[in-house]
A and B are shown apart, each in its own frame.
Chain A
Amino acid sequence: MKLKALAVLPLLWGLVFWGVALVLRDSSSLETFRIWEMETAKALFVAGGLIAGFSFKCGEYMRRAWLIYVSAMALLLLRDALLGYDIFVNDYWRGIYKGGFTLVANILGVIGTWMLASTWKVAGIQLPGSGKAKAVVLGAALILALAFAGPSIVINIPLLMDGNTTSLIWIFSGLGDVIMLFMIAPILLTALALRGGLLGWPWGLLTASVLTWLVFDAVVALLPALHADNYTVMVAMETLRAVACLYVFSSGVAQALVMKHTTKAAAAK
């Protein structure tokens, strides 16, 4: 029951955000609400990862994987918090600061995602599907990753050459996204391998998060091209970002609950 609630929570959160953003559409409070909602969602992402990570003992593979995975978002939270203080000489240094944090966060994000995506190999799980089917899933993930996250890299390289250091954020973020989105394939296959079992829940919820990030990148790439207004782009982006973050929270809590349930159920036998 708790696990089902964890699957619904991110969607409810997204719906509430969307509803409130609709009510506040022409209000000056919209931006404040957006920032608080976004930072809370990011904080819950980190909280979920910490809950999962610390459910494992020191030195265990999944502890390292979860903690590295969420350290990326923790760094982005720290970056956002420091940006609130006016400590930058000018926009050039502000761009370097944001770009630097984004680069480190994306490196950690890639390592963490890669570790989570490699869990099946470490555990010795056989992924479902024939070799051909797996290759198709990998190929599709790579094409989608390049299609959705690639354009922001291509667009921002010339801007960086012109001295716009803010472009660094989008380039590093885009590079990280291409690699992380590509790793959707093994995470999805791990969730499919464990479907029907309790462990299918944390992996299914993690898959829901990475798939939502994929849609997020698609929206970032496509909506401006479709001449959508700023409000529509913002609501779509923030709703998807919140759902993706909350699914990580749900996945982390589900992992901890499954472990707790296993120990409890085994002791009761």
Chain B
Amino acid sequence: MPEKPMHAQLQERLSAFLGENTARVAVSTFAKKAVNKTPEELTRDDIPAVLDALGPMLRTLLGEASAKSLLESIGKEVLG
């Protein structure tokens, strides 16, 4: 089975916390902000920068400790 695209994996993990719509918008917004790309254009190399850009949003909503754990686990899962 072909692996899911990077942006779809990111959205899937984030939607469990942010809801589908906000997860989709967040990936799109922060992909543009961090690496100036659309979600579909994201590559493995872009993921750390996008996760960094998502940090402030998740830190506000979940607190620093939970956001850090979540971003680390998403990074591990998406990057393998």
Q: Which residues from chain A sit less than 8 Å from chain B, CB to CB?
A: 55-57, 60-63, 119, 122-126, 128, 193-200, 258-260, 262-263, 265-267, 269
Contact = CB atoms under 8 A, between A and B. Distances in A.
How many chain B residues sit at the interface, stated as a range, is 20 to 34
- A-B residue pairs, 9 tightest by C-beta: A266-B69, A197-B19, A266-B73, A196-B19, A123-B60, A262-B66, A269-B73, A56-B63, A259-B66
B23 A197 contact: yes
Main DSSP-derived SS at the B contact region = helix
A119 B61 contact: yes
A200 B65 contact: no
A134 to B, nearest CB: 15
B8 interface: no
B41 interface: no
B25 interface: yes
B35 interface: no
B22 A194 contact: yes
19 contacts: A56-B63, A57-B65, A62-B60, A62-B63, A63-B63, A122-B60, A124-B29, A124-B60, A126-B29, A128-B21, A193-B19, A194-B22, A197-B15, A197-B18, A197-B19, A260-B66, A262-B67, A263-B69, A266-B69
A105 to B, nearest CB: 26
B25 A126 contact: yes
Contacts of A267: 69, 73
B77 interface: yes
A75 B23 CA distance: 38
B48 interface: no
Interface string B67-80: 10110110011000
Nearest to A127: B22
Nearest to A124: B57
A252 B18 CA distance: 17
B49 interface: no
Which of B15, B20, B62, B65 has the most A CB atoms < 10 Å from its CB? B62
**Residue with the greatest number of chain A CB neighbours at <10 A, chosen from B15, B21, B60:** B60
Given A262-B70, A263-B65, A266-B70, A197 B16 contact: yes
B59 interface: yes
A82 to B, nearest CB: 35
Contacts of A128: 21
A259 B62 CA distance: 6
Contact of A60 (B19, B25, B59, B77): B59
A193 B62 contact: no
A62 B75 CA distance: 25
B71 to A, nearest CB: 8
Given A266-B70, A266-B73, A123 B19 contact: no
Nearest to A191: B19
B57 A57 contact: no
B69 to A, nearest CB: 4
